[in-house]
Each structure stands twice: as C-alpha cells, then as structure tokens.
Chains A and B, each alone.
Chain A
Amino acid sequence: MTGPTGRARQAVRHAVDASMTLLNEVMERPLDAGYAEAAQRRAAGEATTVKPGVKALAAGIAIVLGLAAGAAVAALRAPNPDASRAARTLIEDAETRQREVAELGDENRELTRQVEALEHEVLAKVDPEAARQASLIGIAAGAAAVRGPGLSVTMSEDPDAVEAEGEIARIRAADIQVVVNGLWRSGAEAVAVNGVRLTTTSPISAAGQAIHVDLTPVAPPYRIDAIGDGQVLEIKLARTDGGARIALLRNEFSARIDLSVRSDIELPAAGGRGSLYYAKQPESAQVLVPEEGSIP
C-alpha cells in the first residue's frame, strides 16, 4: 500500500478540523460514555448482580426526578402568574369602581328627586302657577323624571354581519344621533338612550368603539325610549332621516331594529350634573342705532 499509513492519514484528518474537536465530540459521541463503561463492566463479569437496594434507590430517584420534570413542564406551560394576577387585580379594580359609580349614581338620582320634591313643595305654597310651569319646563329640560306612553326603538348589530364586514356593520354613535333627532323631530317630549335621559346639551359621541351618551358609556343593544303618542311618533319617524337610517341599517347591514309602541314608559331625570346656565340681559351694551341724517 502506498501513500500515508492509516495512522498518518488519521493525523492529517484530525489536523484539518482540529478547531472543531468540541463539536465533533458532541456530534460523534452523543451517548453518555457511562453507558458504554457500564456495558464493559458487565461484559467483564464485574458486578453482574445488581443489588436490590441500588435498584430501588435508582427507581426512587427516578420517580423524584420525573416528578420534578413534570412539575417543571407544568409550571412552564401555566400562564404567567404575575400577568394574570395583574390582570385580575385590574379587573377587580374596574368592577369595584363600576359598582361605586352605580351606587353614587343611584344616590345622586335619589337626592335629585328629593330636591325636586322639596322645591316643588315650597314653590307650590308660594306660587302654584309657577310650580306648574316649573314642572312643565322640567320635562322639557330633562330635569324631572317622567312617565307616559311612547315609542321604544331597540337597535342591535347582527353578529354575523359584523363578522363579515368588520367595523362597517357596527351601530355607531352617528346612527343613534340620527334616530334620536328623528324622534325629537317627530314630537317626542322626552328621550333616553339605555336609560340615560337626554337634554338639550347631552352629547352622543363615539370614543373608539364605545358609544357615550351624555358621557356615560352605553352597550348594545341600544334602546331609545321616547315619550309621546307612540303611534304618531312611529309614523312621523318613518318620514325623517332617522327612519331612513333605520331602513338603511336594516337592509344593508341586517341590523336588528325593533319599534314598539308602549303604553307606559318611565324615564329618569337627566344626569343631574346640575350646571345651570344663566341668561343675562345685556346692561352696558346698547344697540347702535344710526342717528337720523347722520348717514352721508
């Protein structure tokens, strides 16, 4: 045989990838050397009989190791406890605050009702005519809780349509605005959206996906209650932009919109934020009337 001997060839080969010895070691001998040594010992007839104690110990340690591995896997698969704890805390916080808001709102309404009753009582003693007028104004201004016959419009999105068309098929603040305006135009005397009474200054606004009525968030289904002659309201509403919008939402976006004439609707007083706006007669300013003959 010519050429380098086997040993020399091996030396050359090793020299070529000498820098890879570590990787070679890992890749070519991945099996723990202990297994081979144990096999060798067995072959040599050394310790052919394993003591039962050793076997039991190995089994015991294996169970413990398995337990630890299982626990580790379970712990790694579990959702991050910190994140879920934080989320839970935030949710609890939000729920507590919502309850507080609801309680304070109830208290506020109750106090407003008492104030109204007392005002009415006092005014009725002093000036019955003014008291009568005040309650009429209270209805128009939304300051008084009212009841009477009327019309309810319930609007909700078709979930399938929302799924298919995304944002387009949602009911928007503008839709509610148009319907509410249609109701006012049709002669509604008092209007509320999901129990939030509207006054002349109540905004219906969009905040992202949420709809706010008088700064209170409302959720679908949206129910618009209007007090008036229900049948007349329904007929007149159909001729307004509100009616057209209802038809559009129904036909194009398969929104579920129900109109029902009801004999008794009860609406709360408006939010009672109590900001009073005063109108004042101008005192200093006078209308400039050009003097006779001063015009050149």
Chain B
Amino acid sequence: MIALIGLAIGVVVGLLIHPTVPPELAPYLPIAVVAALDALAGAARAVLDGLFDDRVFVVSFLSNVVVASFIVFLGDQLGVGTQLSTAVVVVLGIRIFSNVAAIRRRLFKA
C-alpha cells in the first residue's frame, strides 16, 4: 500500500513542478506511460483480489516501463519502431482492458 501512496505523491509532485525530461527520452514517453497504466490497472486488481504486494508492484511497474521503452528503442534501432510501438500498445491495451474488466466484475458484479 505504501508503494501506491508513494507513487501518488510522486505523480502529483511531477505534475506540479514540471521537471524537464531529457529530449533523448522523448520518443519513449508515450509507451512508458501506457506501461505505467498497465501496472496501475494490475495493482488495482491485485488490491481488490487481496493479493497486493508492495515489492511486486514496484518491480512490475519498473520492469514494465523499462521493457516497454527498451522494445521501442530496439524497434527504432532496427527501423521497425512504429510497428513495435503498436505491438506494445496492443498487448498492454488488452491487459489494461482485461484487468479493468475484472475490477468492474468484482465491483459491480456485472
């Protein structure tokens, strides 16, 4: 739970103080944000399932973001950056949908 609170604090601070993002990282930002959303949806579901674990959350969040960005980076180097970005977005998008659907089923029983 403490990790979720920490993340919330970090997001608020990040939105308020607008730290400058190094321009080299700019191409990976959208994918990193989608990966972060996926980790968040997973965390929400885990909380509802009573399975939440701080360590797992932090590690999965970090690895999601890093791996997603790395795949895009690799794609850029190989000249298939857009296609790989699409692939990552599709997979993460499906996962977000499934997790949110599970949360919905649990909350509304529908």
Contact = CB atoms under 8 A, between A and B. Distances in A.
A138 B22 CA distance: 65
Given A30-B98, A30-B102, A39-B53, A70 B42 contact: no
A227 B102 CA distance: 83
A71 B20 CA distance: 7
Interface residues of B, number: 49
A37 B95 CA distance: 19
A55 B53 CA distance: 10
Interface in B6-48: 6-15, 18-21, 26, 29-30, 32-33, 36, 39, 42, 45-46
A62 interface: yes
B11 A30 contact: no
B46 A76 contact: no
A67 interface: yes
B58 A31 contact: no
Contacts, number: 152
Which secondary structure dominates where chain B touches chain A? Answer: helix
B54 A58 contact: yes
A54 B21 contact: no
B6 A30 contact: no
Contacts of B13: 63, 66-67, 70
Interface string A20-37: 000100111011101111
18 contacts: A26-B98, A30-B94, A34-B60, A35-B51, A35-B52, A39-B51, A50-B54, A59-B54, A62-B7, A62-B57, A63-B13, A65-B10, A66-B13, A67-B13, A70-B13, A73-B15, A74-B14, A74-B18
Interface of B: 2-15, 18-21, 26, 29-30, 32-33, 36, 39, 42, 45-46, 49-62, 65, 91, 94-95, 98-99, 102
Interface of A: 23, 26-28, 30-32, 34-39, 42, 50, 54-55, 58-76, 78
Given A30-B94, A50-B54, A67-B14, 10 more contacts: A31-B42, A31-B102, A59-B5, A65-B10, A67-B10, A67-B19, A68-B32, A69-B14, A76-B33, A78-B18
